[in-house]
Amino acid sequence: MHLKWDIRNLTFSPALFAAPLAGITHSPFRRLLADFGGYGALFTEMLSARQILREDLVQSPSLKRRPQEGKVIYQLMMEDAEKLDQIVERLAYCAPDGIDINLACHAPNIRTRQAGSGLYENRESLAEVLALVRRTWNGLFTVKIRLGSERPGWQNRFAERLKLFEDSGVDAIFFHPRFFEDKFRKRARYELFDWAASLTNLPIVANGDMSGPETIEQNHKSLKNVHGYMAGRMMAVQPWFFAAWHKKQPLVLDYAEIWQRLFDYILEDFPPEKAISRIKIFTKYYARNFRFGHYFYTKVYNAPTLEDVREKATAFLSTQPEVMPEPSVQGLC
């Protein structure tokens, strides 16, 4: 298992990455992950040009970072190269440890703007964006991709994109081997990591359905040429996911205290009207830890005020609810 990765004057040790999750990996959640530790770097949520150019870099709950977070890679969601030089210049105030371009998101509002999967598909714009980021940003430059669109010839398009990344000075690839159209259906195609690695000299970090060291053990043949691992949904369910990765014994956890801590962190950074939705999104994931988690989430989801949300969550969590030994992320997206 590669647990250390040196690239472009950076060392990721361990080479475990917290995936970008829109609505979840804001600064308060990254602060909670940092309390547990165990990762090599965190990703921000995908960030739009508008956010970076307009928001206060010190106060914005999406952009700000705390020293205890460690390495933070900022992910951009771009449709074209317009204002990209200004964006990169402004982002430099946050001292990113890397800049990543989202080429994977297939949500309708993103792809119709020609960002995410839309940018991956548009070779000309993509080449322009990559070239401009490389010209203006001296640090680690990565892309996050899927397999592309499941149309005839996808293998050639995929190989051609990898070549474009190499030619454009991209340093590494975060790769989730599902097609855009799969969303989260089917399974991540682990057998394709080795194929992808055979097509490029760029380091690849494996992403998709990662549920801990056992995923690596079960798929070690397919993963022998990857440089690190990235986890998303399971880390949202279990913010201690990376800390637990390194432990032989299960961690002793106070589920009520952890939920309350994130509630407080979110209220510290977000205004109340925005905090409530962030708490509800997190609770959807956190509820997967419990046998009757759906009941917990429904109560919180239907609560109209922050105080009500807190009361409903405390009432459920104070009953010492039965914990699922292996929570599932199936159906979460």
Ligand X SMILES: Cc1cc2nc3c(=O)[nH]c(=O)nc-3n(C[C@H](O)[C@H](O)[C@H](O)COP(=O)(O)O)c2cc1C
Q: Please report, as ranges, the residues that interact with ligand X according to CB under 6 A.
A: 19-24, 45-46, 75, 102, 104-105, 144, 176, 207-210, 231-234, 333
Half-sphere exposure of 80 (CA within 13 A, CB side): 5
Task: Assess contact for 213 and 1: CB atoms under 8 A.
Answer: yes
In the complex with ligand X, the residue whose CB is nearer, 189 or 321, is 189
Q: What is the DSSP letter of 20?
A: P
Pairing of strands 5-7, 10-12: antiparallel
- The total number of residues shown for the chain amounts to 333
Using Cβ positions, the residue closest to ligand X within the complex turns out to be: 232
> Whose Cβ is closer to ligand X: residue 76's or residue 132's?
76
At closest approach, how far in Å is the CB of 287 from ligand X? Answer: 14
| Closest approach of ligand X to the CB of residue 315, in Å | 26
The whole-angstrom separation of Cα 228 and Cα 261 is: 29
Find the shortest distance in angstroms from Cβ 120 to ligand X.
11
Cβ distance to ligand X smaller for residue 118 or 321: 118
Tokens representing residue 97 in the block: 């440890």
193 versus 321: smaller Cβ distance to ligand X:
193
Q: How far is the CB of 152 from ligand X (least distance, A)?
A: 25
Distance (Å, whole) CA 105 – CA 70: 26
Q: In angstroms, what is the minimal distance from the CB of 205 to ligand X? A: 11
Which segments of 137-187 does DSSP mark as H helices, in order? Answer: 154-167
The nearer residue to ligand X, 187 or 246, going by C-beta atoms, is: 187
Is residue 216 within 8 Å of residue 223, measured between CB atoms? yes
The nearer residue to ligand X, 15 or 22, going by C-beta atoms, is 22
Q: Do 209 and 176 form a contact (C-beta atoms < 8 A)?
A: no
Q: Is the dihedral of CA 69, 5, 207, 137 positive or negative?
A: positive
CB of 311 to ligand X, least distance (A): 26
